Structure 1
């Protein structure tokens, strides 16, 4: 057994046992990430670590990153993409040149993929380009479908149908292919996802229409932030009710321009206005 594995296996077991105590539905992988110093270690681990989602430990000598993550919330592919955007080549993604060039001098590791012009060096890697202006919303089509079904149920003041739609929304949130997201859009998604999950869960576990509507407020705010980060294939209207929540107001997303208020239903069906159109 070589020296790396004599060292790596105990470290792997220690990290895994700690991370597994903090995370749920865990999977652990050891992958190659290139770097050169302790500052690299800090940056790499920060890029791949998300509270209650993933833990990461990078070893400078072996150039190995131990990833432990909740498989229902992220993937190794998505985490390695974040590492690449931070400037570090790895076994899956090559960092954008502009990200690598921004690294401090001490962090300018020798890039294995650039040591030769042989194209075989790039086999199995994807070079990440600079971000485009928008990410396609098609990968979220099922999320939107479930959301709009939920919204329609609240318009009808149907707590049972709303709970069923929210349960379906929970499933679609888990099925989103995060590895297909561009970096900027993925960051927005990961920030919004915990709120979306929590509110969908609360709405799904009750038929109390008031409780459901209260959580629909923050659910809609979170989904709006997501919609702003992704280009849409169809027109979505961002609408506002000025009276809900003791006059503080509340928003929602709709496929139709006509106001159908999900916070009051038939009591004040047309109360509200369109404040923004997303395309």
Structure 2
């Protein structure tokens, strides 16, 4: 009896928390979608993955398998929420959970998986079929390119910024940082692959903060102080998304007041952005990213 009462109280608390969060969401839109799962444990994981304070609220019904999603349309969208849910092991009709994550779910949580293909893949296949039917091969190439090119622009502007710091050119570094901010803002995160999308959401705030700070100064000392943290975020992103060419992760033990600092380069040889000509070759390659 006591156990049942505690379970009821916990369920009531969770429901109130979800309701309160949903009420605080501005620019709210509510949608109902199918999310596959079995039990109360599934419900907890699905809702925890989807909920973001004052941004998104997920209420999953164990009996119907339907999730009611309320979200701020200026900060996220349904696909972003469903991707996060898929990454903890739960399929929807739009996104499939990675097989290894699904296989690691508790036995009672391993719902029957319905054979299906993600919506985005189906759309691309249909578009490709239509294009080939019209013999428009150039259009196929155009449609396939943007997914990676938007991140390539971020990387290229980062490398331009790095090169400006190597030359101790604060004005050019500021201009490169402004271009970097523009390329960051241009990224359509819902078009990124799921694993890249998750890292992008993790590093986005820091990327913009550091790039903006560098763009607002022409003092190379201040710019270099921000460049270390910026490079850490770029490294996390490029590790999962991969660049079109080999990238070298490099390290200088003397930078950052002797604490050491990293940066990325398209060149194997060392050109130190933290000291420029003062100690141009100080550092080493610590990782090669292909």
User: Do they fold alike, i.e. is TM over 0.5?
Assistant: yes
Pairwise CA distance, 1:70: 6.7
Taking structure 2 as the reference length, the TM-score comes to 0.70
Quote the residue 1:55 is aligned against: 56
Match of 1:155 among 159, 166, 170: 166
Does the CA-based 8 Å contact 2:42-2:109 persist in structure 1?
A: yes
More RCO (CA 8 Å, sep 6+): 1
Match of 1:68 among 62, 66, 71: 71
Residues of 2 paired with 1:155 and 1:193: CA distance? 25
Pairwise CA distance, 1:169: 1.4
Match of 1:238 among 229, 236, 249: 249
1:57–1:102 CA distance, 2 compared to 1 (3 A): same
1:36–1:248 CA distance, 2 compared to 1 (3 A): same
Does the residue aligned with 1:42 lie in a helix, a strand or coil? Answer: helix
Does the CA-based 8 Å contact 1:33-1:88 persist in structure 2?
A: no
Quote the residue 1:83 is aligned against: 85
Residues of 2 paired with 1:223 and 1:98: CA distance? 27
Does the CA-based 8 Å contact 1:91-1:125 persist in structure 2?
A: no
Q: Are 1:208 and 2:219 counterparts?
A: yes
Quote the residue 1:7 is aligned against: none
Aligned-residue Cα RMSD (Å) equals 3.3
Does the residue aligned with 1:232 lie in a helix, a strand or coil? Answer: coil
1:267–1:100 CA distance, 2 compared to 1 (3 A): closer
Q: Are 1:229 and 2:220 counterparts?
A: no
Residue segments in structure 2 that go unaligned for 5+ positions in a row: 1-16, 123-146
1:17–1:204 CA distance, 2 compared to 1 (3 A): farther
Quote the residue 2:8 is aligned against: none
Does the CA-based 8 Å contact 2:272-2:280 persist in structure 1?
A: yes
Residue segments in structure 1 that go unaligned for 5+ positions in a row: 1-10, 21-25, 115-120, 128-135
Give the structure with the larger helix fraction: 2
Quote the residue 1:28 is aligned against: 29
Does the residue aligned with 2:198 lie in a helix, a strand or coil? Answer: helix
Does the CA-based 8 Å contact 1:75-1:178 persist in structure 2?
A: no
Residues of 2 paired with 1:266 and 1:57: CA distance? 54
Residues of 1 paired with 2:176 and 2:286: CA distance? 25
Does the CA-based 8 Å contact 2:47-2:60 persist in structure 1?
A: no
Q: How does 1:256-267 map to 2 (within 5 A)?
A: 256-267=267-278
Residues of 2 paired with 1:96 and 1:266: CA distance? 48
Does the residue aligned with 1:206 lie in a helix, a strand or coil? Answer: coil
Does the CA-based 8 Å contact 1:93-1:126 persist in structure 2?
A: no
Residues of 2 paired with 1:277 and 1:208: CA distance? 31
Does the residue aligned with 2:25 lie in a helix, a strand or coil? Answer: helix
Pairwise CA distance, 1:145: 0.9
Match of 1:18 among 16, 20, 24: 24
